Amino acid sequence: MPIIYLDNNATTRLSPTAYAAMQPYLDGLVANPSSLHKAGQAARRAVEHARAQVASLFDSKPAQIIFTSGGTESIHLAVLGTLRRLASAGTLITSAVEHVAGMAVAERAVAEGATFHRLPVDKAGRLIVDDLDEHLKSPPGIVSLIWVNNETGAIHDLEPIATAARAAGFVVHVDAVQAAGKLPLQPVTQWADLISISAHKLHGPQGVGALWMRAGVTIDALQQGGHQERDLRAGTENVPGIVGFGAAADDARTRVKKATSNLKSLRDRLEYAICQACPNAVVVAHDSPRVDNTTTICFEGVPAESLLIGLSERGVFASSGSACSSGSVEPSHVLVAMGLPAGQIEGAIRFSLSRDTTEQEVDMAVVAVTQVVDQLRALMS
Residue spans of the domains in the chain: they are 4-12+260-380, 16-256
Average pLDDT over residues 187-207: 98
Is the Cβ–Cβ distance between 301 and 377 less than 8 Å?
A: yes
Confidence category of residue 182, pLDDT binned at 50, 70, 90: very high
* Cα-Cα-Cα-Cα dihedral sign, residues 270, 340, 337, 192: positive
The span from the CA of 270 to the CA of 352, in Å, is: 11
> Which are the contacts of 185, defined by CB distance < 8 A and separation ≥ 6?
57, 58, 176, 179, 195, 197, 212
Q: Provide the greatest CA pair distance for the chain.
A: 71
β-bridge pairing 316-317 and 4-5: parallel
Q: Is the pLDDT of residue 329 over 70?
A: no
The span from the CA of 277 to the CA of 352, in Å, is: 19
Average pLDDT over residues 176-196: 97
- Helix and strand element counts for the chain (H, E): 13, 12
List the one residue out of 133, 35, 75 whose CA is nearest residue 324.
75
Amino acid at 339: G
Q: Is the pLDDT of residue 154 over 60?
A: yes
Q: Is the pLDDT of residue 139 over 90?
A: yes
16-256: CATH, from 3.40.50.10490, 3.40.640.10, 2.60.200.20, 3.30.590.10? 3.40.640.10
Average pLDDT over residues 12-30: 93
CA 311 to chain centre: 24
Question: What rounded mean pLDDT belongs to the chain?
Answer: 94
pLDDT of residue 371: 97
* Cα-Cα-Cα-Cα dihedral sign, residues 58, 285, 279, 298: positive
Global pTM value = 0.96
Average pLDDT over residues 41-48: 96
Is the Cβ–Cβ distance between 232 and 66 less than 8 Å?
A: yes
Looking at the annotation, which residues are catalytic? 324
CA dist 278 → 27, 295, 298 (Å): 50, 15, 10
CATH fold of the domain at 4-12+260-380: Aspartate Aminotransferase, domain 1 (3.90.1150)
pLDDT of residue 90: 96
pLDDT of residue 343: 93
pLDDT of residue 260: 63
Is the Cβ–Cβ distance between 123 and 338 less than 8 Å?
A: yes
Q: Is the pLDDT of residue 324 over 80?
A: no
List the one residue out of 277, 237, 176 whose CA is nearest residue 47.
237
pLDDT of residue 28: 79
pLDDT of residue 62: 98
pLDDT of residue 115: 97
pLDDT of residue 72: 98
pLDDT of residue 373: 97
Confidence category of residue 15, pLDDT binned at 50, 70, 90: very high
Average pLDDT over residues 146-153: 98
